[in-house]
A and B are shown apart, each in its own frame.
Chain A
Amino acid sequence: MSLHLTQPERDLLAGRSGEAAALAMRVVTSAAELLGAESLVEISSAHIDGCLHHGDGGVEFAEALLKGDGQVVVPTTLNVGALDLLHPNVVRADGHKTDMARRQMQAYVAMGAEPTFTCAPYQVGHEPGVGEQVAWGESNAIAFVNSVLGARTERYGDFLDACCALTGRAPLFGLHLEENRTAKVIVDATNVPEALKSRDVFYPVLGTWLGLELGQEIPVIKGLPRTTTRDQLKALGAAAASSGAVALFHVAGVTPEAPTVQAALSLGREEDSAGPVEWVSQAIPHLPRTIHLESGGLQHALSRLSTAADTERIDAVALGSPHFSASEFRALHHCVRGRQLGVPFYVCTARDTLAEVESAGIADELRAAGVEIVADTCVVVTPILPARDGVLMTNSGKFAHYGPSNTGYDVLYGSLEDCVESAITGDVMRSDEVWAW
């Protein structure tokens, strides 16, 4: 098996469109070869998770592309950076890191990417349609674009997403191919009480369970309400992509490739039966297994989201991973209105979403109550939180997952309402009865 390139692709590799495009093409073709792809696929958009500073290698890479006259050739959005460019004093980084982080963010903007600086590009107008081929980085965005929008991307890491944006190509493998999008396991949520399934606090826990239980396996979940919101699906996917490597989940009756359970189980089936490929014959004979969601499994996932489950005090609250949507801001506003928060309270969002809530007048009221709104970045990717210890409360499965290693804080998971109530005095207020079944 070898990689077949078209003439325009060979021209890119030969440097006919400049040195950056050639470098990008070398990376794309190396990735394609190591993944076993036989050809590349043209993409219609990209989301680059490469403008976050983890060290100076990322800056060297971005500036090497820029120096070679790199320009994105498809509509491209940018993930969070390590700085809040709108509120420069929010991030507590030293001069060198601040300088390098800014250079890294600016390099991609100079290459023609939109300065969205958000992990939720799907909330600021970047919404590919069902079946569109795209190349997205950022684990939650990958899960969302595949699952909720029905477009097709693989799990692209930093650098490959940028190289896809500069070449307009991605390796044709994995989730780009319909036959690999078939659900392999049924997760039955029918027995979960409707009262729990209607609550936002359920979805990060379900996602955490999914990631721990399935790793990379594609599920179709049945028994969730047809009214499951985009924010809930976003939270589910983000948590599943943190505890596991979930890049695609189907929800029967909710997500576009799963009008029914059977539809998700038969995606790409015609191609399968016609194909002589060896692994297909191994994959077909057994019927997918069904896992019934039970209280014990969910309790285990719930307990994993807190490293300070017994604490009675919290030191800070962080919301907005993935970035807060306008509807989440409205829900927060409803809870906070007219009250005063007693501990540092951060909400992370996209600059475009911030502009929206600013013009709706909500942002100022939230700030008056003690909310600090962070744009372009978030509290687990860069130093924003006050001291390097204490207890951080969050309603985000992703913050709960990465908080301890990235911030030094212990974490306590709770609903949006729990977070607000606890933040008034710092005394933990959690309503756990919704989990008793």
Chain B
Amino acid sequence: MNDATFIELTGRPLIAGEARGPLLRLTHPISFWGGVDPVRGQIVDPRHPEFESIITGTVLAIPAAVGSSSSSAIMLELLREETAPAAILMGKADAILALGGVVGQELGYAPIPIIEVAPSDLERLPDGASVTVLKDGRVTLS
């Protein structure tokens, strides 16, 4: 499907919230630890196709989280440093990235929505378009 066919999709909120930003769709799974610098809010794994992209303020779509279990800690630091994406859309829920969000809430950091989205829906998302994430897990064009 191409961009023109995208109207909206509904995911499952892992951490509910509202956000808006340009969609950054990663074409390859990522390990936040070793893959993202939380101070710069940037992808730093030279083997990743979106190497050097800034994730801060984006609606970040990730097919899957792989690699290190320390990725929870990088998620927490992104929240603490205020370099986090505006929202994260994940192809598969796991106990790693969203957990960083849960702990961030306990420590009083500003939360971001994290939504589980069917992998087939993720592929329909128009990279670069401005999208809005709603509390009920809907993702629409802004």
Contact = CB atoms under 8 A, between A and B. Distances in A.
Nearest to B72: A157
Nearest to A54: B73
Q: Which residue, of A58, A159, A211, A242, has the highest number of chain B Cβ atoms within 10 A? A: A159
A35 interface: yes
Given A160-B95, A405-B34, A54 B80 contact: no
Interface string A178-216: 000000000000000000000000000000000100011
A150 interface: no
Interface string B1-30: 000000000000011000000000000010
A58 B64 contact: no
Interface in A49-66: 49-50, 52, 54-58, 60-61, 64
B110 to A, nearest CB: 13
Interface residues of B, number: 44
A406 interface: yes
B136 interface: no
Contacts of B81: 55
A31 B100 CA distance: 10
A27 B107 contact: no
Interface string B56-84: 00000000111111111110110111000
B139 interface: no
Q: Which residue, of A54, A137, A380, A401, has the highest number of chain B Cβ atoms within 10 A? A: A54
Given A54-B38, A245-B65, A405-B34, A159 B76 contact: yes
B88 interface: no
Nearest to B31: A242
A244 B66 contact: yes
A188 B76 CA distance: 40
A55 B45 contact: no
A418 interface: no
A57 B79 contact: yes
Interface residues of A, number: 48
Contact of A61 (B33, B38, B39, B76): B76
A245 B64 contact: yes
Contact of B80 (A35, A57, A158, A406): A57
Interface in A224-263: 241-245
Given A55-B77, A64-B107, A139 B68 contact: yes
B70 A157 contact: yes
Contacts of B29: 215, 244-245
B44 interface: yes
Interface of B: 14-15, 29, 31, 33-35, 38-39, 44-47, 64-74, 76-77, 79-81, 92-100, 102-104, 106-107, 109
10 contacts: A27-B102, A54-B73, A56-B80, A61-B107, A137-B69, A157-B73, A158-B73, A243-B67, A245-B66, A405-B45
Interface of A: 23, 26-27, 30-31, 34-36, 49-50, 52, 54-58, 60-61, 64, 137-139, 142, 154-161, 171, 211, 215-216, 241-245, 304, 307, 380, 401-402, 404-406
Given A30-B102, A216-B64, 20 more contacts: A23-B106, A31-B95, A31-B99, A34-B98, A34-B102, A35-B95, A55-B38, A55-B80, A61-B76, A137-B69, A138-B69, A139-B67, A155-B69, A157-B69, A158-B99, A159-B72, A159-B99, A242-B68, A244-B29, A244-B67
